Structure 1
Amino acid sequence: MTDIRMPLNRQALSDELNEFDKLTYAEEDRMLEEGDARHADHSSLTGVSGHNVRNRRDKNHSNYKQQRPSWRFRAPLILFGLLILVLVSIVFLALRTNSDRPFAGRDGEAKTINGRPAVTDRLLGLLPISKAEDIDPKWVQDSQAGFPDGSFLELDQHKFVVRQFGSTNSTVIADIKNINDKQGNAIEFSTWTASADLKYLLLTTNYQKGWRHSFFADYYLYDIKAKQAKPLANSVSDKHISNELGSGMVALTAWSPKGHSVAWVRDNDLYVTVEGTTEVRITTDGSYNIINGLSDWVYEEEVLGKGKALWFSPDGSHIAYLKFNDTLVKTFPLEYFSKFGENAYPRELNLKYPKAGSPNPVVTLHIVTPLSTNVTEQSSPVHFGIEGFADQDRLIVEVNWLTSNDTLMVRLMNRVQDIQRLFLVKGTQINGIFTWKADLVRDEATPDGAWHNILQPLTPILSSNFADHNDPSYVEIMDSANGYAHLAYFDDIGRASPTMWITSGTWEVTGIVRFDEAKDIIYFMSTEHGSTERHLYSVHLDGSGKKRHTPQKDVELKKVASVLNETYGLPLGDSGYFDVKLSPKCGYSIVLYTGPDVPYRITYKIEDSGWRRVDSVENTKLRESISKVALPQISYFTIPNQIGNDMNVKMIVPPDFDPSGKTKYPVLMQVYGGPYSQMVNQKWNLDFMYHLPLIGFVSVIVDGRGTGFKGRKFRNAVSKQLGLHEVEDQIEAGRWLGQQKYIDSKKIGIWGWSYGGYMAAKCIEANSGVFALGMSVAPVTDWRFYDTVYTERYMKTPVQNPEGYAKSAVSNMTGFSQSRYLLIHGTGDDNVHFQNSAMLVWHFTGANLSPKNVRVQYYTDSDHSISDNGANPQVFGLLTSYACDTFRLNCNQGFDRLDRRDLSIFEHK
């Protein structure tokens, strides 16, 4: 489940330049599952791109014939109104129970606390809940374009403009009014990307959603100098792949990092349009079972985390790509009842989906030269020898060019991912023809029999002033001897072990942002200041001069002074969760503070004398607004589990929380708990769990064993026994909560989505007496039903671990008969199949469970996000109403007498 957790290879999360802006996806994308399916842009990140499409239909796409102002000229806040909360609040107003209204004043008026009105669910829907705008600059990275470091391209007021941070200079390279088809009609496009040399634009039209990270579209190639647009595909597809989404459409595009060649995939064949003119077909064997350069389902979801399975060499002369042979992969039929039309017979889509223990795709690596005419070069795979694992035991998890055109590092793993082997692949040119040879340089088995984590693709260092090394060298994030992820330096690409560890300690490096080649400095993010925090650090390649850069001395936190509440227990001038982007030459830094307090963004110019501020967004109006209201209070702390491990906890309590014990509060815990995930972090996140205290709940999130950023031992405790120790820790946390004098120990519930739904079900199955309520959305209920790559990473195969699979399944119904349980699933879920919930209902039936104990709600045709046909707000309304009904709470806030005058404090003057 990439919803269930992160893909194996975080190359999906960072581009070939290792920009940390893509790495943030790994930290949150499959833990916070409340209906936010994310779908990444097709375009290669080596070019310049704009407006990534994420889970949108054609009819909802932005139209670039309409005005799209620059980030520079937008209001300094993005109003990301919490649509879920607004719609859910409407549901709440319709609920009726017999208990007192917990947060309404007399006659239904909003309650005041210390002279400030309490933010209720209705008021929260009108509050401008905002964040500092998280810009994603489209860096101009190629020196061919002739712009200095810190330059970026944007679409501003119908013009494509190159700007530079810290400067008022700008250069218009194209005007949208000139972008027309051959008939002179305006091309209405939804996304755009630019070639590295800024000579061409690639425009996306007719978007069609694929799986989580993929989509299909038609494309126009726009010649900026000639002011001419033409379809990217000159030819017409000569095949129609039956039972496939997007047949005949382009499934992937990727710019060359030099010049303006673009690779693309159509009907599972790879093409290259060379220098904007010549179309070259690389493969001809694409079919339902053979896929070239485009991830199949399991690689998109679990290994690469994206649709793109091709990599240009840095000079653009070669393309390495993966070929997937899915012939042996079994199909899973997905039935759609309405999404593709209401017909007498449902549409059936046969999805190639390998389940635990079944055949995987056979994957091979190919390297081609687009302009070569040599047939052998175009078709022969790279041979890894006997060390490259057998076909059914091989995963290719990383492909990384180390030099401009002739050297790659390729990482292979065995099927259950406890052995990894790195191969150095070098090309030799004879008579203009390249041949490629792979040599094993690293062979590593895990020390504890658990799994290898690929924390981030290795970072090539093409040139360095560091003594006693060979060019190129590389840095990689690896588990050190003490089990914590740190920076390891390999001074020679042929070394079998690190030359040195650049960092060390009982904390973890979470991502490399960039390497400053001119200064031999590595910028990286880490948890050194706390496992729930992220800060930017830098260190020299030799390990000297480590320095923390966040927050800077001029940070806005000191001005914020924690307008939210006084219960964080955090040094707010020093703590925080930061996301950082660096320009290609590390001359500029965009620092985004994302919490725990009000977010802000500052852009700095990095100079030898220090960091100089050149731009900022400080969220002043948001601070003013929320300082006038009483919001739920948030605190962070740790509690021990049964064996003494500290577990991170986030607790959110009502605005007028009474800790004396006079009031007994019900609790709803949210759990995710998947391996290497993290739910408890210091991000500003006013989500569903923040909403619950507004109707009388205490919300709690606990990260137990198996979760990330607390070392390998804590993380790998769940190996080969999913659903055991994670559940024990949630039960222990629930038991601890029940012992607090302000908690009603008989009203503790737990809910989760995806892996969290599985955890909630296992907590109820455990029949501990702690949880009176469980709610699962799209859960796995039997690991035999989930995909090979994810499941076998943690559980091995069913043949190797039959007892583990049996114990991990949700099968004992006793606990369900002693509590209330809500099960929600979408019938069109391609990730966690509806089969999981169907089998759980089978067990409910066999155990003759009463409708008083269990309720089941399915959503027709919805995928893992359960968002089709407006379903998502209903999901959260149902979760809330079921919890309120179980604990006999009145969720009606009593706003029938509230008028517009009560909301005037939220208006920006």
Structure 2
Amino acid sequence: MIKSWKAIGLGLLCAVGLSLASQAQALKKVTAEDVFKLGTFSPKTVSGINWMKDGQYYSSQLVRNGAPVVVKMNLATGEEAGVLLDGRALGVDFSSYSFNADESKALIATDVESIYRRSSKGIFYVVDLATGQKQQLMNGEKISYATLSPDNHKVAFVQSNNLFLVDLASNQQTQITTDGEWNKIINGSADWVYEEEFSMAQAFKWSPDGKKIAFIRFDESEVPEFNMQLWGALYPKDYKFKYPKAGEKNSLVSIHVYDLASGKTQKIDAGSETDIYLPRIYWTRDANTLAFLRLNRLQNKLDLFHADASTGASKLILSETSKTYVDLDYNDDLQYLSDGKTFIRTSEQDGYKHIYHHNLDGSLIRQITSGDWEVTAMVGLDEKAKKLYFLSTEASPLERNFYVIGLDGKGKKALTPAKGTHTINMSPDSKFYIDYHSTADTPVKVTLNEASGKEVKVLEDNQALKEKLKGYALAKKEFFSFPTVDGTALNGYLVKPADFDPNKKYPVLMYVYGGPGSQNVLNAWGGLRDFWHQQLAAEGFVVACIDNRGTGGRGRDFKHSTYANLGKLEVIDQIEGAKHFAKMPFVDPSRIGIWGWSYGGYMSSLSLMIGHDVFKTAIAVAPVTTWRYYDTVYTERYLQTPQLNAAGYDDNSPITHVNKLKGNFLLIHGTGDDNVHFQNSVDLVNALITADKQFDSFYYPNKAHSISGGNATWHIYTQMTNYLKEKL
């Protein structure tokens, strides 16, 4: 009886497969042109939103008739209520804007050029919203991080590693620091490693009353210099910048407060230890009390201090330690309440990231949220109603939903029951929020909502894209989990060809990133790589992805399991995933490949070398090949220093395992990669040559870590597609 039902089930499966195949054949296949040139699958969104002070409006930046405009939107109706800034009328093609506290002035930027991942410089103007008059800062010279003062009278900014301010009424300029110098001293903006790993570029903040400016000073004189050659001239140019590789010297950092009235600068006491990180400064509700975070070099101790801005004296408020590391990203929601007596913050000290309420002296009032799930973002606080709004993984690690809870930890309620991933932009008064919601099958829908969850208006539903998608043979992401060797369940997804035939044997391409705290397996609308995977599915590949141990969304222990030994468990999990796929009846076990970028390139390289019996082909783009070449902050957080943990750096370096290489290996890197240096690939190539291993490689002259700009994106994905069609 059981056998006959199985036979019937197989017959039905085949019939369904044939029916789907015939339907798919009538639809368009996803092409490279769709993905990379036409932007066929790129959703529209609503961007450049600023909530306005009266709680009745928000502003949004749009493009009209080829020029930028900022419009005022009515929260109650969702309708446009006027134009606040008009690029055509101003004669400025601005790319960003911000308002001062009373919304009488706007700061706009144009001709902005990127420096590194988060840093930039541009030409800034202050616009009087009542008269429409504009005032150019620094006579049109490029500056960074121009910020209006809370009292509306001044603008602070950074130029040439020094901090400046301009009085708007007199146009008088004051240079706050004078010792700034390229590759030596930086005032008010971050050095390379802080920008990359602590997600900060601007390193100064106005006091709440506009009378002081706190800033971080970086002395990078002793940080070793990295040299990149820039190609294109008769003689290539050297580009030298300070980059602290694991175990090397970091910048000496200090915090200072400039008093506008006296013109004096006060250094803040951050302790006698100098080999530390000072990654965050905050003003409390008291305009003379500055808060800051201090991390030790190994990042297993995080301290919160309060300092007297006038005297520089500081006091330790609370301290958190770990046997592994204290993740700044999980302790970066510090917010001081208007009562002037308490603050809230997040921490994963109980095993999951949750929200805590403290008295100003650091004593705990209560843990507000708890459970075997993570708060992924704190997005709103209604102090009058004593309600806190946050995103979390409570429904599933594969999703992000929006919740409200009382400051007393009671009355938790889901405001976004729809499955998928929600990103929330909430008004400062917590009366409204904008919800960006998508699933793996549905492009982003943007809605304006009341705090209760009631929808006010759909701002963008991407209906045109949804209609367009109906004409394409798109494959669905099939989510699953499976147990790895030690019984840990891992999450993954499969993307099968739209004309999938269960009787055929398909090659499988696994996509991996796998780094600490990352997450690829998520029920959300995909980006460029996801639609390249759709193109590959249209070419007859099954594309798969597994989030190995060490990735995010599943708590501290799961994330920290790879501590001090990056690469070991992650590669085991990817190999086990490949073996799991190899057992599937529609998979050709002799044609399983893996690809990744950055940490994913590290993973794909190692997986092919160590797992050469299960993987046939690997592509590694911009890979770390030895953690000795990567920066201090990221690498030492997870591996300690090379001096303390040499084996953790070397045992799972692809360079160590070159002798095990079999199969097809394509190594790609940009020569202008300031993040994961081209040096990584050069040394791996040398090791492969020494081991007498044949492989393929390609470099992109002057291209940074993203290998983008010009024709590079089209070229690299075309190259990888052709390689996979030939080798897999």
TM-score after normalising by structure 2: 0.91
Distance 1:258 1:666, change over 3 A: farther
Give the CA deviation at 1:444.
Answer: 2.0
C-alpha contact 2:434 2:447 (8 A) present in aligned 1: yes
2:297 aligned partner: 415
Distance 1:174 1:337 in 2: 41
C-alpha contact 2:612 2:662 (8 A) present in aligned 1: no
- Give 3-state SS (helix, strand or coil) of 1:811's partner: helix
Distance 1:877 1:438, change over 3 A: same
1:454 aligned partner: 329
Moved more, 472-481 or 506-515: 472-481
1:307 aligned partner: 201
Q: Given the alignment, which residue of 698, 702, 710 partners 1:857?
A: 698
Say what the alpha-carbon RMSD is for the aligned residues.
2.4
Q: Given the alignment, which residue of 71, 74, 82 partners 1:164?
A: 74
Residue deviations 1:13-33 (CA, integer Å, cap 9, x gap): xxxxxxxxxxxxxxxxxxxxx
Give the CA deviation at 1:739.
Answer: 1.0
Q: Given the alignment, which residue of 43, 47, 50 partners 1:135?
A: 47
Distance 1:114 1:750, change over 3 A: closer
Amino acid at match of 1:713: D
- Give 3-state SS (helix, strand or coil) of 2:718's partner: helix
Distance 1:494 1:705 in 2: 37
1:730 aligned partner: 574
- Give 3-state SS (helix, strand or coil) of 2:297's partner: coil
1:151 aligned partner: 58
| Counterpart check, 1:195 vs 2:36 | no
Report matched runs for 1:823-834 at 5 Å.
823-834=667-678
Distance 1:348 1:224, change over 3 A: same
1:333 aligned partner: 227
C-alpha contact 2:228 2:672 (8 A) present in aligned 1: yes
Distance 1:229 1:150 in 2: 24
| Counterpart check, 1:350 vs 2:240 | yes
Distance 1:508 1:592 in 2: 20
Distance 1:221 1:604 in 2: 30
Distance 2:658 2:402 in 1: 49
Distance 1:863 1:472, change over 3 A: same
Q: Given the alignment, which residue of 182, 185, 194 partners 1:290?
A: 185
Distance 1:730 1:855 in 2: 22
Give the CA deviation at 1:408.
Answer: 2.6
Distance 1:698 1:807 in 2: 32
- Give 3-state SS (helix, strand or coil) of 1:455's partner: helix
Give the CA deviation at 1:828.
Answer: 0.7
2:396 aligned partner: 530
Q: Given the alignment, which residue of 486, 498, 518 partners 1:643?
A: 486
Q: Given the alignment, which residue of 320, 328, 338 partners 1:444?
A: 320
- Give 3-state SS (helix, strand or coil) of 1:690's partner: helix
Distance 1:775 1:311, change over 3 A: same
- Give 3-state SS (helix, strand or coil) of 2:651's partner: helix
- Give 3-state SS (helix, strand or coil) of 2:267's partner: coil
C-alpha contact 1:478 1:488 (8 A) present in aligned 2: yes
| Counterpart check, 1:400 vs 2:311 | no
Report matched runs for 1:320-719 at 5 Å.
320-338=214-232, 342-343=233-234, 345-373=235-263, 375=264, 378=265, 380-386=266-272, 390-391=273-274, 393-427=275-309, 434-446=310-322, 448-463=323-338, 471-481=340-350, 483-490=351-358, 492-496=359-363, 498-551=364-417, 574-606=418-450, 611-659=454-502, 662-685=503-526, 686-719=530-563
Distance 2:94 2:28 in 1: 44
Q: Given the alignment, which residue of 249, 256, 265 partners 2:149?
A: 256
Distance 1:189 1:620 in 2: 29
Residue deviations 1:343-370 (CA, integer Å, cap 9, x gap): 2x11111110011111000000111222
Give the CA deviation at 1:123.
Answer: 8.4
1:894 aligned partner: none
C-alpha contact 2:143 2:157 (8 A) present in aligned 1: yes
Distance 2:290 2:32 in 1: 56
Distance 1:325 1:319 in 2: 19
1:74 aligned partner: none
User: Which blocks of at least 5 consecutive residues in structure 1 are unaligned?
Assistant: 1-109, 142-146, 180-185, 237-247, 428-433, 465-470, 552-573, 888-909
Residue deviations 1:123-155 (CA, integer Å, cap 9, x gap): 8557842435243412223xxxxx434332546
| Counterpart check, 1:874 vs 2:715 | yes
Amino acid at match of 1:209: S
Give the CA deviation at 1:706.
Answer: 0.7
Give the CA deviation at 1:647.
Answer: 0.7
Give the CA deviation at 1:581.
Answer: 1.2
Give the CA deviation at 1:423.
Answer: 0.8
Distance 1:216 1:576 in 2: 37
Amino acid at match of 1:820: N
| Counterpart check, 1:223 vs 2:109 | no
1:748 aligned partner: 592
User: Which blocks of at least 5 consecutive residues in structure 2 are unaligned?
Assistant: 1-19
Q: Which of 1 and 2 has higher RCO (CA within 8 Å, sep 6+)?
A: 1
Distance 1:648 1:842 in 2: 36
Moved more, 696-705 or 798-807: 798-807
Distance 2:237 2:388 in 1: 52
C-alpha contact 2:163 2:188 (8 A) present in aligned 1: yes
Residue deviations 1:405-444 (CA, integer Å, cap 9, x gap): 12232110011101111111234xxxxxx32321012122
C-alpha contact 1:154 1:162 (8 A) present in aligned 2: no
Moved more, 783-792 or 624-633: 624-633
1:35 aligned partner: none
Give the CA deviation at 1:710.
Answer: 0.7
- Give 3-state SS (helix, strand or coil) of 1:385's partner: coil
Higher-strand-fraction structure? 2
- Give 3-state SS (helix, strand or coil) of 2:725's partner: helix
Distance 1:579 1:132 in 2: 15
Report matched runs for 1:750-789 at 5 Å.
750-789=594-633
Distance 2:504 2:301 in 1: 54
Q: Given the alignment, which residue of 14, 27, 46 partners 1:117?
A: 27
Amino acid at match of 2:560: N
Give the CA deviation at 1:453.
Answer: 4.1
TM-score after normalising by structure 1: 0.73
Give the CA deviation at 1:827.
Answer: 0.6
Residue deviations 1:714-736 (CA, integer Å, cap 9, x gap): 11111111111111110110111
Give the CA deviation at 1:598.
Answer: 1.6
Report matched runs for 1:879-890 at 5 Å.
879-887=720-728
Distance 1:786 1:116, change over 3 A: same
